[in-house]
Amino acid sequence: MAQDSEGFARAREQMGQHTIPELIDLLESEDVRTRFLAEMCLRDATST
């Protein structure tokens, strides 16, 4: 289970390197995990 959270943390960190416009574009992805991470990072970037 620790590996899953480490993988998630790495994926979130990588996704967080995208710009806000890129994150908005990623919200249209067909991949649920990509959309979820993009939304989390967008909220982080905009402090909402």
pLDDT tens, residue by residue, 1-48: 566 888 989 999 999 999 999 999 999 999 999 999 999 999 999 986
Q: What is the pLDDT of residue 2?
A: 64
Q: What is the pLDDT of residue 4?
A: 83
Q: What is the pLDDT of residue 5?
A: 84
Contact 37, 15 (CB under 8 A): yes
Q: Which domain holds residue 23?
A: 2-46
Number of structural domains found in the chain = 1
* 12-30 burial code (b ≥16 CB/10 A, e <16): eeebeebeeeebeebeeee
